[in-house]
Amino acid sequence: MDLKLRRRAIYTGMRPYFDDATLLEAIHLWQIKYSDKPKFAFTEFLSECCQDKALRSQRTMILSSIFKALDMPPRELLPDPFDIDQEQLINLSPAEKICDDTT
């Protein structure tokens, strides 16, 4: 599974539990720190993401949701949260424009 598809699956699995800003931060953290690690690293990833008490108590459910999403067909996953349209791209700063699927 390529990076974009895994990111979509993780986004889909975590979406019910996180607000927009926190979810995007978590996806970014996964991409820069955990995307090249095996599946069992999700436990460590969620420990880092789920800092507040409400999220900590739901880590098992979030992990299960991520694993289910990783097994879903691509057509059932939410769109990539990092996909943006051309108009948004024009408005990005030069530093933001150099970020891609490998960072």
User: Residue 101 pLDDT more than 50?
Assistant: no
Burial pattern 42-72, b for ≥16 Cβ within 10 A else e, equals beebbeebbeeeebeebbeebbebbeebbee
CA distances from 98 to 69, 89, 93 (A): 29, 11, 9
Mean pLDDT of the 6-32 span? 95
Domain boundaries of the chain, sorted by first residue:
3-97
Percent of the chain clearing pLDDT 70 (strictly above): 81
Give residue for tokens 């459910």.
61
Q: Of 95 and 35, which is predicted with more confidence?
A: 35
- CA-wise closest residue to 17 among 75, 52, 28: 52
Report field, pTM of the whole predicted structure over 0.85:
no
